[in-house]
Amino acid sequence: MFTFFWMTLLFFLWGSTKNTVESALGRPICSGGYCITLNEGEITTEAGLCVVIPCFFTMADGFTPKAIVWFKCEPWRRRCGDSDVVFHTNHDKVPSEFLGRVLLLDPDVSQGNCSIMINDLNTSDSGSYQLRVNGFYQGMADGLTFPSRTSLSVKGLYQRPTVMVPPLTEGQQATLTCTAPGLCSGSPPTITWMWRGKTEDYHVTGSTSALKTDNLTAVTQRHSSTLTFKPSAKHHNTNVICKVSFPGNITTEESVSLNISSDHEKHVSVFGVLPWVIAGVSLCVHVFCMIYIWHLWNTRKKKKLTEDQTYVSLQKRDTSSEYDVIVQRPR
């Protein structure tokens, strides 16, 4: 978290005032007109990745800074010596194990930015880091080693690659993407794809892309690789592995299980549901017909009852003599 936070902070605050940056890092420590602002507390990071040690300084009036020197030594030592140099503006004074791995983020020393990035980290990079600024004071060569230090702790790599898997269908070409952890400008990692069998892992025989590097900023990069293949039934429920190897034999991997669907399964699924759909429709039609018949029957019955009641009513109201004669006539 420290790595990503400080990298983001420095890249986006370079154009801001130094007071803003200093307040984010902590209060500057000053003595005799010389001030330095370092990260408060221990910076924790992981082997194989990179880290930024944020740093800003100001010099006394009359001092012109010309070179930046960083040392690394044990915390209990009062002062780091020349044998502990890990970065020097004059590169020929840097030991081979640090040369090219430690970068000054702002080459213009006059800006007071002494922040460095360390790439290809290993656990031996843990230690106490101390700054010295060389230059001229009132025309004479001079330099100052700041007593304040920052502490770096490099742990084992626990971050894993990120593997993106799209929906997979049997016979349809698909592309998987693996992105290495970290945003570093050091040695690019090696990314390999493997299938995980029951007893051993074996390399993928499909089409894998070469390592792709995206330059996010002047000093940060993202590394990725792709695997393109046509899934088949044999790939279903198998595991594919993306393995990322950093310098120093530092490796990390991510395994994902593949779920392969097929057109046959879709057809079976459709045909499996179809009988239930037909049965449901048939039931609805039957219920509708029964309700309709019941409605017709009730309507007809009510109509007949109404007609009978009308006839009886008419009979009772007809009192004509003709009717009486006809009714009383003997047979």
What are the tens digits of pLDDT across the range 153-184? 999 999 999 999 999 998 899 999 999 998 88
Are residues 21 and 84 located together in one domain of the fold? yes
Are residues 316 and 196 located together in one domain of the fold? no
**CATH for 228:** 2.60.40.10
Measure the CA–CA gap between 122 and 50, rounded to whole angstroms.
Answer: 9
More confident site: 82 or 278: 82
Are residues 92 and 198 located together in one domain of the fold? no
Residue pLDDT, tens place only, 207-236: 677 788 888 777 788 999 999 988 888 888
Pairing, β 221-229 against β 212-215: antiparallel
Map residue 140 onto helix, strand or coil.
strand
Are residues 139 and 8 located together in one domain of the fold? yes
Q: Indicate if the pLDDT at residue 134 is higher than 70.
A: yes
Residue pLDDT, tens place only, 87-99: 999 887 899 999 9
Domain end marker among 108, 124, 155: 155
Q: Indicate if the pLDDT at residue 49 is higher than 90.
A: yes
* Residue 293: predicted pLDDT: 79
Domain end marker among 91, 126, 155: 155
* Residue 64: predicted pLDDT: 93
User: What is the Rg, in whole angstroms, of the alpha carbon atoms belonging to the chain?
Assistant: 43
Are residues 18 and 87 located together in one domain of the fold? yes
Are residues 138 and 232 located together in one domain of the fold? no
Map residue 139 onto helix, strand or coil.
coil
308 confidence band (pLDDT: 50, 70, 90):
low
Which range is most confident: 15-24, 238-247, 282-291?
238-247
Measure the CA–CA gap between 214 and 211, rounded to whole angstroms.
Answer: 10
Expressed as residue numbers, the domain containing 317 is: 265-328
Are residues 173 and 75 located together in one domain of the fold? no
Are residues 127 and 179 located together in one domain of the fold? no
Burial class (CB in 10 A: 0-12, 13-18, 19+), 102: buried
Are residues 171 and 279 located together in one domain of the fold? no
More confident site: 8 or 170: 170
Domain end marker among 261, 294, 309: 261
Worst-scoring range by mean pLDDT, 24-28, 49-53, 68-72?
24-28
Are residues 101 and 167 located together in one domain of the fold? no
* Residue 8: predicted pLDDT: 43
Number of domains in the chain: 3
Are residues 207 and 102 located together in one domain of the fold? no
Q: What is the mean pLDDT of residues 180-192?
A: 88
Are residues 247 and 171 located together in one domain of the fold? yes
137-140 long-range contacts, Cβ below 8 Å, gap at least 24?
A: 137/60, 137/62, 137/63, 137/64, 138/62
* Residue 91: predicted pLDDT: 81
